[in-house]
Structure 1
Amino acid sequence: MSPMFDKVAQGKKHLLVPETVEQAEEMFHLCLHNKSLIPSKQLVKGFLDYYNTPRMSFLKKMFDALLEDQDALTPLLGKISAPTQVMWGRHEEVLHITCVDVIKREMTAPLHVDIIEDSGHSIPVETPKKAATLIMNFRDKFIYR
């Protein structure tokens, strides 16, 4: 269980699919460890108008499917054959950090895991330089040998 799943259990089923500014602010509080990065209400409104609203039906269906069977993807991990990079925020509140243990246990492909300090769910937003460096290092090590 993670803080997000605690909230889902309390009836906030579409926490990651906000429809209002208030719901979006709650989502950002959950996804960002560094709360100073939470955008202003005006930017949140723009996010909802541009990104979420046109995709709302799809996003809700996707989230419902994930909630219906939270382990549905686990058996597929062993079928991945490509080198894989996993970056996980140390302060992740959406998917508990113990999910990394499941990935490590189930995957047989070359796997590189980075746990990012000072980050939550939104690693590229919170630590963009670190994320870019890790991606480039992974590419250089596993892809362009």
Structure 2
Amino acid sequence: MKKLAIGITLLLACAAGTLYFSPTALLTSVQFIERQRAGLSSHEVKVDGLTIHYYEGGPRDGETLLMIHGFGANRDNWLRFARHFSQQYRVIALDLPGFGESDKPDVNYDVASQTERLHAFVQALGISKPHLIGNSMGGHIAALYAARYPEQVTSVALLNNSGILSPRKSEMFAMLENGKPNPLVVRKAEDFDALMRFVFVNPPPLPESLKRHFAEQSMANQQQYDRIFVQLRERYVPLEPELPKIQVPTLVLWGDQDRVLDVSSIGVMKPLLKKPTIVVMKDCGHAPMLERPEETAQHYQAFLDSL
């Protein structure tokens, strides 16, 4: 009750003081409130010489849900989704190396390398047989992890994951093949609004000051993201030969209006998985846990309950 009162007070203060706060202070306040509501707190751990930042909450003796973000994203993408699980499960959402607040050394960030870093992170935290859930690139990593370490996971949930040659080419890949800029990388301020419209059917509302702040952050990371995206393509790991190695139940959830990775990927994945559960969310884009967190959480909880 005390936490709720603190959260409400801060939320009102944020709303009243938006014009007076700097974007950084406003973002810090909003993140604090969202972490409080999700029951998560910030932590960091050193793994193979890299500092990895992550959120954690929920009972430490509960089953672990390990949440893996996508390209250009970070652990904050899971906050509104995670609040539906932290009462029952140990919830962990990390900033992958190269993203968010985690270290960004000059190394390879292809999915195979990130999968091994994720495995080292799991071992460092002493996590036993987590439920993996990943979005986009994070889904690619989650699937590869479950294929490489089939006895070390309990389930996998893949939200609009990369790694599949879809029967119908997505709008993003059509743009890239035609020589157009990567729509996931912000190069100038107005690109941020375009990115939001590209990723979401109904973009989550954001104050203009935060939009500007996120646009500036994204532009500051442009070279890093360009370099990582090149590595992801040059060192691409197809999932088609990997999916049959996954032994555990697998949820494949997709927004049917995804312009980044086409929903037709499901038709390739389903016959390759031993224990698939398929969910298609209508009128939803590339990041269901951000666009419709409560509905996505309901689908995921139903999947967990079915295990």
The answer as to whether partners of 2:199 and 2:287 remain within 8 angstroms in 1 is yes
Q: What is aligned with 2:209?
A: 42
Change (3 A) 1:75 1:62: farther
1:136 maps onto 2:301 in alignment:
yes
**Equivalent residue, structure 1, for 2:284:** 119
Letter in 1 for 2:263: I
Distance 1:18 1:55, change over 3 A: closer
Residue 141 (structure 1) shift: 0.9
Determine the C-alpha separation between the residues in 2 that align with 1:44 and 1:10: 29
State how 1:1-80 maps to structure 2 within 5 Å. 1-35=169-203, 37=204, 39=206, 41-50=208-217, 53=220, 57=224, 59-68=225-234, 72-80=238-246
- The 1:128/1:61 distance shift into structure 2, 3 A limit, reads same
CA contact (8 A) 2:172 2:260 kept: yes
CA deviation digits over 1:60-96, x for unaligned, max 9? 3442244347662322222222211111001111111
For structure 1, the residue ranges without an aligned partner over 5 or more in a row are: none
Question: Are positions 1:90 and 2:256 aligned together?
Answer: yes
For the 8 Å contact 1:32–1:121, the answer to whether it is kept is: yes
Q: Secondary structure at the match of 1:88?
A: strand
Q: For residue 48 of structure 1, report the CA deviation from its aligned partner.
A: 4.0
Pair 1:41–1:20, CA change in 2 (3 A): farther
Structure whose alpha-carbon radius of gyration is higher: 2
SS at match of 1:64: helix
Question: Greater strand percent: which structure?
Answer: 2
**Contact 2:186-2:218 at 8 Å conserved across structures:** no
Q: Distance in 1 between matches of 2:233 and 2:255?
A: 21
SS in 1 for 2:253: strand
C-alpha displacement of 1:121: 0.6
Q: Quick one: structure 1 residues 125 and 27, their matched pair in 2 at CA, closer, same or farther if it must change by over 3 Å?
A: same
Q: Secondary structure at the match of 1:74?
A: coil
Residue 81 (structure 1) aligned to one of 213, 226, 247: 247
Partners of 2:305 and 2:219 in 1: how far apart? 35
Q: What's the counterpart of residue 66 of structure 2?
A: none
Task: Please give the TM-score of this superposition, normalised by the length of structure 2.
Answer: 0.40
Q: Calculate the aligned-residue CA RMSD, in Å.
A: 2.6
Higher-RCO chain (CA-CA 8 Å, sequence separation at least 6): 1
Give the distance between the partners of 2:206 and 2:192, measured in 1 at CA. 10
Runs of 4+ in 1 over 6 A off after TM superposition: none
Contact 1:85 1:113 survives alignment (8 Å):
yes
CA distance in 2, matches of 1:84, 1:2: 23
1:104 aligns with 2:247: no
Query: What is the aligned length?
Result: 139
2: distance between equivalents of 1:43 and 1:125? Answer: 16
